[in-house]
Structure 1
Amino acid sequence: MKLQVAILHHQHYPETAREHIAAKLQHLARYFARIESVQARLERQHDMHRIEIVASVPRGVVLVV
């Protein structure tokens, strides 16, 4: 499974946060082994933090989160 953690708008997050998110995303394979890739996009607006996770799965598979 290919992983990508992206930080939007040139914001500063510690490298440990990126590593922690990547480690957590690895656990998704435990629930669905056919995930091809996962992208996590981090964004901060004032005091609010938001993360968007996009998983690519084979055609014809429905992934409900």
Structure 2
Amino acid sequence: MLFQSAFKLFCFGAAMLGPFAAGALFHYVREPEIYAIFLAGGILLGFGGLCGFASTERAERRRHHVARFGREL
């Protein structure tokens, strides 16, 4: 349970800070092609964080449902 909470916190941080870091680098990167790589990486990191967080939430919901009703959804 502790590792699952830490993973959710990591995913939440990646989902928020990935796109933020890509946007913050806009003023420091001089070449547009290089910035496009950073932008794509930040967006993909944010999307990966959202997917990881949603997957963990779905597993918790399923486990709660089985504990409460004794059967799968």
Higher alpha-carbon Rg: 2
Q: Scaled by the length of structure 2, what TM-score is found?
A: 0.30
Larger fraction in helix: 2
Q: Scaled by the length of structure 1, what TM-score is found?
A: 0.33
Larger fraction in strand: 1
